[in-house]
Amino acid sequence: MSRILALDGNSAMAQAMRQINPDLVAAYPITPQTSIVQDFAQFVADGLVDSEFVTVESEHSAMSACIGGAAAGGRVMTATSANGLALMWEVVYIAASLRLPIVMPVVNRALSGPINIHCDHSDSMGARDAGWIQLFSENAQEAYENTLQAVRIAEHPDVRLPVMVMQDGFITSHAVERVEIYDDEDVRAFIGPYRPLYPLLDVDHPVTYGPLDFYDYYFEHKRQQVEGLRHAKGVIEEVGREFGLKFGRRYGLFESYRLADAEVALVVLSSTAGTARVVVDRLRAEGLKVGLLKPRVFRPFPAEEIIAALRGVNAVAVMDRSIAFGAMENGGPLWLEVLAAARLYGLDVPIVDYVFGLGGRDVVPEQIERVFHETWKAGMLGRAERIVTYLGVRGDDDEGRGSEDGGELSSVARSPSPASAGNGQKPVSV
């Protein structure tokens, strides 16, 4: 039978790892991920799992050990955050390129500098093009259940790619919630035994891992990775349906809330969706037809499916907890994906971006109400007065930038000119 426990998100993920019982876990501690592998190390010490736990000297070494274990034919997991993920950079790409089904919880934390240990999505968004599948979790229950499903997704013969499972650092990783932990045997039956493909230690069928791969075959191998990610969308939905039939909670590519008749939609990842859901209910009670779309899957990005869900709205607001520096208008990665999807699949409405919560800064319901009201105005006008807004940032009076001719506003305030530097003036809008 399942058990209801009071757990934080990290403990919930550690419980999932205990039930998965991987052959190898190689990990290095980093805030706010540390307690995942700390809890799992205790499970190893208590004899609750059969896993080999390898303590390494860095996150680069952790992923390197995971690659070796997965290539040898083991079911392999690790976990990390922020600078730890950045230190893995080289080998994160290698894990995907070798088509190794490693599962890695990532507790989202801001990348330095300046150093910051609190939540934003710059770490996983920085790795968004590394070839990994990326699942985002709103709360501890989803973090637990996404981790369980990630194993099935990664190991599917049509996919064979590693998976990151995200949750928000401290916001869900350290907040204690009600979490339903399913029966161990039921979970193990759902996950099933691991059947490795092309294990390095199968001496009767020798294979090579990590050879030089010049222009004669490298391009074809990259193309094969594309196919693995292309197949992943259907596999994610299939596994989510099976999970729902067995445990009662069905998962798809995204979750929509009061979106069917909405005139304005908000798109946001992870824990902020919970706050946004409350705001949707509040504004609905006031007569505003607003709705929410919470992507669960960011890689592969479900472009066509998301645009189909948004079709019919008059305007869309995207909230990004990271910045794609130097990209269009210095907006966020999620917004850029939604914009491209809208262009490709014919959604011609204003789509604005709100960058928020960097370095763990709180976002409160009143700010999300503002997002809805400003986006509602954009829908009424048929154009956005401001394209990208930095929501809740100090020293930026309009939290955006206007053009001199009174046209659409973009994203950043200009620093004071040398003549005005040091006179206490704030950055000016242009």
- Of 223, 247, 271, the residue at which a domain comes to its end is 247
Task: State the angle between helix axes of 184-191 and 218-247 in degrees (0 to 180), rounded to the nearest 10.
Answer: 140
CATH number, domain containing residue 270: 3.40.50.920
| Cα–Cα dist 49/378, whole Å | 55
Beta 297-299 vs 388-390: how paired, if at all?
A: unpaired
Contact 120, 110 (CB under 8 A): yes
Q: Do 148 and 19 share a structural domain? A: yes
Nearest in space to 270 (alpha carbons), one of 152, 163, 356? 356
- 319 lies in some domain: yes
Nearest in space to 123 (alpha carbons), one of 104, 142, 140? 104
pLDDT band at 404 (very low <50, low <70, confident <90, very high): very low
pLDDT band at 407 (very low <50, low <70, confident <90, very high): very low
The parent domain of residue 359 ranges over 254-390
- 430 lies in some domain: no
Q: Do 194 and 295 share a structural domain? A: no
The domain total for the chain is 2
User: Is 365 strand, coil or helix?
Assistant: helix
- 416 lies in some domain: no
**pLDDT of 412 above 70:** no
CATH number, domain containing residue 89: 3.40.50.970
Q: Do 258 and 231 share a structural domain? A: no
| Cα–Cα dist 421/98, whole Å | 53
Q: Do 207 and 59 share a structural domain? A: yes
Q: Do 189 and 143 share a structural domain? A: yes
- 48 lies in some domain: yes
Rounded mean pLDDT, 339-368? 98
| Cα–Cα dist 67/65, whole Å | 5
Q: Do 233 and 136 share a structural domain? A: yes
pLDDT digits (tens, 9 = 90+) for 26-83: 999 999 999 999 999 999 999 999 999 999 999 999 999 999 999 999 999 999 999 9
Question: Which is more confidently placed, 411 or 171?
Answer: 171
**pLDDT of 427 above 70:** no
Percent of the chain with pLDDT over 70: 92
- Of 209, 225, 247, the residue at which a domain comes to its end is 247
Q: Do 284 and 164 share a structural domain? A: no
pLDDT at residue 68, rounded to an integer = 98
Rounded mean pLDDT, 274-296? 98
- 398 lies in some domain: no
**pLDDT of 422 above 70:** no
pLDDT digits (tens, 9 = 90+) for 170-184: 999 999 999 999 999
pLDDT band at 395 (very low <50, low <70, confident <90, very high): confident
Q: Do 259 and 220 share a structural domain? A: no
DSSP 97-144: HTT---EEEEEE-PPPSS---S--SHHHHHTTTSS-EEEE-SSHHHHH
- 399 lies in some domain: no
pLDDT at residue 398, rounded to an integer = 52
Contact 123, 106 (CB under 8 A): yes
pLDDT at residue 329, rounded to an integer = 95
Max distance between CA atoms of the chain, in angstroms, equals 76
- 378 lies in some domain: yes
Q: Do 269 and 163 share a structural domain? A: no
User: Around Cβ 221, how many Cβ atoms within 10 Å?
Assistant: 12
- 196 lies in some domain: yes
Q: Do 339 and 205 share a structural domain? A: no
User: Around Cβ 407, how many Cβ atoms within 10 Å?
Assistant: 10
- Of 247, 279, 294, the residue at which a domain comes to its end is 247
Rounded mean pLDDT, 386-401? 78
Q: Do 281 and 243 share a structural domain? A: no
Q: Do 90 and 230 share a structural domain? A: yes
